Amino acid sequence: MARRYLVAGNWKMNGSKDYVADLSKALANESFDNVDVVVCPPACFLPLFEKQNFALAGQDISVHEGGAHTGDLSASMLAEVGCGYVIVGHSERRDDHGETSELVAQKAKAALAAGLVPLVCIGEPLEVREAGTEESYVGEQLVPLMNLLSDEELARCVIAYEPVWAIGTGKTASPAQAQAMHAYLRAQFAKRNAELAEGIQLLYGGSMKPENAEELLAQKDIDGGLIGGASLKAESFIAICQAAK
Ligand code: PGA
């Protein structure tokens, strides 16, 4: 079965009520048959989205279901306000909040338990890429996830490969570099279960924009994109969704 494309716009700590309205209106005029379109705004804006032709995602969750955790949100809260997805393990969370791959795996598990699809981010920093050890680095980031989740749970995850040196820098992994890593990732899943490897959606993230999206998305093992900067303008986000179509 052919894998569908998924394009997710990660607003990070950006956006406004006006942009909620503008983007919703712009997307309402589009149709994306073969593409799952996902919008990941700051959580405070989630309830402002009305009926949409796209899915909503949170940018992070707690591993806890509730209780005394000031400032945190649970997976079930995001589900309750209409999310179908949640980003976990973004490199900015790993850097700003010291999140480990073990914690990220627990967050993915919590997301699945609440019926959300976790968009699990992995990716190597520049020094690792320069040392040529990016595959083993990224492979290590996957280990806790592989250990904690069953095959059936893994099949409900989406993996986003985001080389840290390409995030927000304007530098993009070349289509060949991105494809090589995606093939490596799919091979890691194949060691576990061939059907899982064939079905799992693998996204690329890191300075994807309308100018480079088509070539990246044409790679055999790239099933979509996690888009930061270019998701903050309706026109460029839609152009990337179109490129996936
Ligand atoms: P970028 O961000 O597209 O601005 O590089 C991608 C991301 O961090 O998800």
Distance between CA atoms of residues 148 and 63, nearest Å: 13
> Is residue 51's pLDDT more than 80?
no
> Is residue 1's pLDDT more than 80?
no
- The residue whose C-alpha atom lies closest to atom 3 belonging to ligand 1 is 228
Q: Is 69 a catalytic residue?
A: no
Q: What pLDDT does residue 52 have? A: 84
Cβ–ligand 1 distance for 228 under 6 Å, the answer yes
Distance 93 CA to ligand 1 centre (A): 13
Residue keyed to tokens 């649970």:
74
Residue keyed to tokens 């959580």:
43
- The residue whose C-alpha atom lies closest to atom 2 belonging to ligand 1 is 228
> Is residue 91's pLDDT more than 90?
yes
Residue range 202-223: mean pLDDT, rounded? 97
Could you tell me the pTM of the whole model? 0.97
Contact of 204 with 182, CB cutoff 8 Å: yes
Atom of ligand 1 nearest to the CA of 208: 3
Cβ–ligand 1 distance for 225 under 6 Å, the answer no
Distance 77 CA to ligand 1 centre (A): 25
Share of the chain above pLDDT 70, in %: 100
Q: What pLDDT does residue 113 have? A: 98
- pLDDT tens across 158-211, in order? 999 999 999 988 888 999 999 999 999 999 999 999 999 999 999 999 999 999
Q: Give the tokens for residue 222.
A: 């790239």
Residue range 223-236: mean pLDDT, rounded? 98
Name the average pLDDT for the chain: 96
Share of the chain above pLDDT 90, in %: 94
Distance between CA atoms of residues 48 and 17, nearest Å: 8
